[in-house]
Chains A and B, each alone.
Chain A
Amino acid sequence: MDLKGKKAFCFIALKHHGRFLFPITRALAARGMEVLYPTAQAESPFEITMLDEGLPYHHTFSYLTPEVADEIERAYREVRGQWKERFLENDILHHFTLSIQDKALRMHLENFYLLRRMFEVEKPDLVLALHELNSWGKMLGYLCNELRIPFITLQEGLYWGPTGVYRYHTEYSTACFAWGESAREVLVRSGSSADKIYLVGNTHLPAAIREATEPEAMKQTRRRLKLDHKTRVVTVLMGGLGYGSDFEFPKPLLDWARRRKDLTLIFKWHPFNNKRIIDQIGERLAGFRNIRSLQQDDTYRLLAVSDVCAVFGNSTAGLEALAFGKPLVEIRVPGQHYSFTSLGVADQAGDLPDLPEVAESILQKGVSQERREKVEQYLVRNLHSLGGENMERTLDLIQQMLETREEVNKRAPAARRNSSHVPSAKKPGGEEFLCSIVIPFTSMEGVAESLIGVAQHTSADISYECLLAGAGDESRALQDFVQGDVRSIPSSSTSIATLLNLAAREARGRYLCILPPGLIPQPGWLEALVEEMERDPATGIVGGKIIDPQGMIHHAGIAFDMNFSPSSLYQLLPASLPGAAKRRAMRAVSGCLLACRELFLALGGIDEGYTAGLHDIDFCLQAEAAGWKTVYTPESVLVAPGAEPEREESDRLRFYVKWIGSLWPDVQQYWQDDGLDHKQITGLYEKLLAETKVSSAVADSISEQP
């Protein structure tokens, strides 16, 4: 991959960000990409991190111009007035220190407009940040969307449970590279977009393990810590911050150290703890030759030489210790839901005084086979892979993103030029049929059912042909089975988009109706689509209601959620929901859709960069960009046999890179139009969940019977 001429921004706020990001930027730089490290004002200055790393950073203040200064000043006065109004409305803003508010307000506004200026000047092709949860993350993400630049975020540490905190990780991110399935689940269950998460593993840990466990490195570490070859090491990773100078190590722990001369206890403190206090605590251990109190040492080097590691609660270091293959003791932290012990990968100590007993047992008996297996499973779920392929995969994804962006940038003007020709496309032009129904398939699953549905429920008033686009032999067999105007468009392509384009070129109808196999048309389905199409000359695409066999909504038009991710409006709610019964213009529809054939061809057909999904939504957005309207009509009904398959990774990547800056959330607007608020929507889904639980409980009770 040659990235010469390309530029990346990498935003490093705190030291540990670099740990995950530098392997990527180093690799990008090695491929010729220019990497810039932008920084901005912060209460806890980012410059310190940059200076520690020796990075030639670019400060936003260097991009200040009189125009930007004016813009900031105007914006500040406007926001200051609004903020003052809210501050004096009630006490909600009063629980956030006023002097911090004062600084934060100004700083965020300055950072935002200055970063925008920096983006305009430097024109990056890619932006990397550890996550988008903080002010800088949101600003970078927003600006990337505004300026159509892919924004990549990563996982910060161990994600231990669905909470509101994880809800905002994929809002502006084009892609969020997560360590493993476990984090993906946490993110998705918290409300992040499943579409935008890509499992790449930890970009740092495999190399860190390799380096720290090299025989020479281990020897050095042991020598530095004055550990002879017989000494056994128990490392306690002291969690949390805010230790006071009055902190005392519990007596049982010290007695253990006194007793076990062949043992060395290492207490590793988090670097954010006050160094002076940690030094004071360390001084009190001066009498112990086999206790080390360390703060600045490399944790990985310590883990490498440890026989047992102990962590407080749900620390990321626990996961890292397991990745190093070390037995883990979890010192319980009350109130935490995530527990290594509960997951079966650690032994639990109630508190620090209990550590000697638990650790001693491990030192003497080792770890059971069952534990080893559980740890292995845990690591697979949490770290995706510990091999060296993490970086290859990361770089491969980045390359795909950059290539897509380049392709889209090249193509965009052409699409716009075409747009001026398409309005005439709907005029009748002596076509043989009113509709050409295209069923693209890569396997025969569902094709027959759809065809039968077409035959049974399409009015004789509509002249139509059926085009079966897919593997030749199988479609020919079907052609024999179904009577009427059914044609086979043989192709060995496995790309739905390619099959559709092929069929569209062969079609002889004025309208193209894309019917994915498995969708079963219901009476009046096509008439309703055609009627809607002909109602308004500006309409270019029409989609219908799709329900599942239980009468729940499968598709009622596409809405974009807070992550800008498309999904069906009111999915899984009862089909009778009034909002699903409204015909309305929407940005996109999915599943079965009717489009003017000429429009289809004028837009260049379906983007063949998609392999399995999202092509239909992409097509609607293309039509929208060319000035055409997409309409959802509930009068056309189809039945879907089951849940939609998961979206392919390459399709997701393409979709979000291609449409950066053109997507925005609209789901709440639909709710509002339908007289619903967030609470009511939540209530509907909670009811659904309760009913599902009842039905699964009934199912369980039946299956348990002899």
Chain B
Amino acid sequence: MKKPQVLFAIGEVEWKYTYGKLRHLVSMAAATGQWEVSVASHSKEICAAFSDSPIKSFHLEEEVVRHLPEHAISMTDLMIRLIQDIDFPGSRLPLWKTIAMDDYMGCLSLHKRPPLPIRPDVLVYPLIGIDNTTADSSHFYGGMALEAKKAAATVIGVEISPLGNRQTFAASLADYYAVKSEFSRSFVESQELASPGQSFILPPEEVYLLSCRQDSVLDEYFQQAVALKAKIRMLGGSTVIFIPHNVAFIYETREILKALKLLKYPVAVVLNVDPNVARHSLKEKEMVEKVYRKELADLPCVIINEEPGWLWTLLYGDIVWGAACSVYAEISSFYDKLTIISQRFGQKAWVGEHLVMEPEPERAIPMIESWIERRLLRRKSLNGIISHILTTSRDAKPEAAHYGS
């Protein structure tokens, strides 16, 4: 069966704002192997960024057509005919009277673009905000929205320029919304841009890809993400609990593993060990397998990870739960992970928005469940959104969001 076509439209402005990080989103979609993923752009540079990958790119160069004043008047005339029945609500003032001259005729820029060589099923493009100020990008995205409509493709708008402005027309062109925060999601809904089943909050790592932030750890993570994922093979749909293991805290770790059984949501556990640590002639990994045999057997999915690059693996986790204060704990909370330290006789405190010290693991369970409900279940990766759309009839009422990658 022919794979569905997923087209990413990327304009120069968003490429610039995100330092080209958008390419990782494209690569991650392609890595699923479920869809034919391609990229369209009006910028040669963006297309060239995909030349070393199997992802097809289409350079759709926008050509500005020179026009005479007579053409501008004729075009304005057509525009007036197109919108002649739209009035300012509650008045008899036609909208075209206020928009035809300075706005339309004054800013008229005739653009010609080659036709899209494919017929996409899903179009992913950045939501156009007020800071998308280049005419080329703006024309490109508008054109892509029109192409999608012609092809009856579903449009997923991803939030790069933050939502929240009063101006939402350009953003309204999408069918589904992949946004960065709970605020953005409620904004999309309160502005009636989408119904609750059509807007999703992206996981923090993907949010990073849509920002103009630069973080070398995350950048490295995305370099490794696809390969790592293949190696680790976590269960889809589960909450990933990352446990940074330390041989000096066996008791506490066992208590944590026991407590995990109490969670009402499915979890996959990544127990991170150091390949260079050994005790009693056992490597840390072997020691872990021996010491926690029973607890590990009671959990549906456990990966004992001794791959180098621990920070990248940590980034796969949704929640970090350790027995000791460590650099893991410190950094994970910066990456929007719920981080819990459960140390016997240890501190009990809220350290920061995402960092909690709770000596009794069982007492941390309601907190974790609430976190899953309030945060994780409301998030969906871009791949998850694409998958959701392709498996749901476009006309059917979209299902409630569920977390998964």
Chain A residues with a Cβ under 8 A of chain B: 71, 74-84, 86-106, 108-110, 112-113, 133-135, 138-139, 142, 146, 163-165, 168, 171, 335, 664
**Measured CA separation A93–B96 after assembly (Å):** 12
Contact status B149-A88, CB under 8 Å: yes
The 4 closest A-B pairs by CB, nearest first: A135-B98, A75-B89, A98-B138, A102-B170
Q: How far is the CA of A245 from the CA of B165 in the complex (A)?
A: 36
| A87 touching B99 in the complex, CB below 8 Å, given contacts A112-B93, A142-B93 | no
Stretch binding the partner chain, chosen from B43-51, B129-137, B204-212: B129-137
Q: Identify which of B103, B130, B133 gathers the most chain A CB atoms within 10 Å of its CB.
A: B103
Q: Which among A97, A133, A168 is the interface contact of B138 at CB below 8 angstroms?
A: A97
B351 CB to closest chain A CB, in angstroms? 41
Q: Does B104 contact A (CB under 8 A)?
A: yes
User: Could you give 5 example pairs across A and B, Cβ below 8 Å?
Assistant: A75-B88, A79-B86, A96-B107, A102-B168, A108-B99
Q: Which of B91, B149, B172 contacts A80 (CB 8 A)?
A: B172
- Bound CA span A315–B138, Å: 33
Chain B residues with CB below 8 A from A112, complex form: 88, 91, 93, 98
In the complex, the answer to whether A95 meets B169 with C-beta atoms within 8 Å is no
Please, how many angstroms separate the alpha-carbon atoms of A100 and B138 in the complex? 9
Residues of B within 8 A of A92 (CB): 75, 78-79, 82
CA distance A663 to B207 in the complex (A): 56
Q: Is the CB of A99 within 8 A of B111?
A: no
- Chain B residues near A (Cβ < 8 Å): 68-69, 73, 75-79, 82-83, 86, 88-93, 95, 97-99, 101-104, 107-111, 128-130, 132-133, 135, 138-139, 141-143, 145-146, 149, 166-170, 172-173, 191-192
Whether A82 contacts B79 by the Cβ 8 Å rule is no
Residue of A nearest to B69 (CB): A163
Q: Are B170 and A98 in contact (CB under 8 A)?
A: yes
With a cutoff of 8 Å between Cβ atoms, the chain A residues found around residue B111 in the complex are 94-95
**Residues of chain B within 8 A of A95, CB atoms compared:** 75, 108-111, 139
Residues of A within 8 A of B170 (CB): 98-99, 101-102
The binding surface of chain A is classed by DSSP as helix
- Are the CB atoms of A97 and B109 closer together than 8 Å? yes
CB pair B130–A77 under 8 Å, yes or no, is: no
Q: Given contacts A102-B169, A139-B93, are A90 and B82 in contact (CB under 8 A)?
A: yes
CA distance A368 to B104 in the complex (A): 46
The reply to whether A99 and B133 form a contact with Cβ atoms under 8 Å apart is yes
Cα-based distance from A75 to B93 in the complex (angstroms) = 13
**Are the CB atoms of A99 and B130 closer together than 8 Å?**
yes
Instruction: Name the residue in B98, B108, B138 with the highest tally of chain A Cβ atoms < 10 Å from its Cβ.
Output: B98
**Which listed residue (A74, A80, A133, A163) contacts B168, Cβ 8 A?**
A80
A86 adjacent to B82 (CB under 8 Å): yes
Contact between A106 and B145, CB atoms less than 8 A apart: no
Known: A84-B169, A86-B83. 19 other contacts (CB 8 A): A83-B83, A84-B172, A84-B173, A88-B145, A90-B146, A93-B83, A94-B111, A95-B111, A96-B108, A98-B139, A98-B141, A98-B142, A101-B169, A103-B130, A106-B166, A108-B88, A110-B166, A112-B93, A134-B101
Taking a contact as CB atoms under 8 Å apart, the answer to whether A164 and B73 are in contact is yes
* A96: B residues at CB distance < 8 A: 79, 103-104, 107-109
Q: How far is the CB of A564 from chain B (nearest CB, A)?
A: 12
How many whole Å from B190's CB to the nearest CB in chain A?
10
Please measure, in the bound complex, the distance between the C-alpha atom of A165 and the C-alpha atom of B91, giving whole angstroms: 24
CA distance A664 to B97 in the complex (A): 15
A102 touches B128 (CB 8 A): yes
Q: Are A91 and B73 in contact (CB under 8 A)?
A: no
Known: A98-B138, A99-B133. A146 touches B109 (CB 8 A): no
Among B75, B109, B169, B172, residue most surrounded by chain A Cβ atoms (within 10 Å): B169
State whether A94 and B139 are in contact (beta carbons under 8 Å apart), knowing that A138-B93, A164-B76 are contacts in the complex. yes
Residues of B within 8 Å of A138, CB to CB, are: 93, 97-98
B132 touches A99 (CB 8 A): yes
Q: Are A80 and B169 in contact (CB under 8 A)?
A: yes
How far is the CB of A119 from the nearest CB of chain B, in Å? Answer: 13
How close is B125's CB to chain A, nearest CB, in angstroms?
Answer: 12
Out of B82, B86, B102, B108, name the residue touching A135 (CB < 8 Å): B102
**B92 to chain A: which residues have CB within 8 Å?**
142, 664
Please, which residues of chain B bring their CB within 8 A of the CB of A103? 130, 167
Given contact pairs A92-B75, A95-B109, A95-B111, A134 touches B169 in the complex (Cβ within 8 A): no
Cα(A171)–Cα(B142), bound, Å: 33
Residue numbers in B under 8 Å from A108 (CB-CB): 88, 95, 98-99
Are A142 and B169 in touch, CB under 8 angstroms?
A: no
Query: Shortest Cβ distance from A406 into chain B, in angstroms?
Result: 26
Cα–Cα, bound, A246→B69 (Å): 26
Query: A113–B95 Cα gap in the complex (Å)?
Result: 13
Nearest-neighbor residue (CB-CB) of A167 within chain B: B73
A82 surroundings in chain B (CB, below 8 A): 83, 86
Given contacts A92-B82, A94-B143, A164-B73, contact A100 B107 (CB under 8 A): yes
CA distance A133 to B98 in the complex (A): 8
What separation, in Å, do the CA atoms of A695 and B59 have in the docked complex?
60
Give bound CA distance, A511 to B53, whole Å: 92
Considering the complex, give the chain B residue whose CB is closest to the CB of A13.
Answer: B102
Bound-state CA distance A101–B145 (Å) is 15
CB pair A335 B68 closer than 8 Å = yes
Complex interface: chain A residues within 8 A of B168 (CB): 80, 102, 106
How close is B163's CB to chain A, nearest CB, in angstroms?
12
Bound CA span A75–B103, Å: 20
Shortest A106–chain B CB gap in Å is 4
Bound together, the chains give a CA A142 to CA B98 distance in angstroms of 10
Q: Cβ of A139: which chain B residues have Cβ within 8 Å of it?
A: 93, 98
Question: A71–B143 Cα gap in the complex (Å)?
Answer: 32
A101 to B141, CA, bound (A): 13
User: B130 touches which one: A76, A102, A113, A146 (CB < 8 A)?
Assistant: A102
Chain B's nearest CB lies how many Å from the CB of A333? 12
Q: Are A135 and B99 in contact (CB under 8 A)?
A: yes
Known A112-B98, A139-B98, A168-B97: A88·B103 in contact at CB below 8 Å: no
Residues in A whose Cβ lies below 8 Å from that of B89: 74-75, 78-79
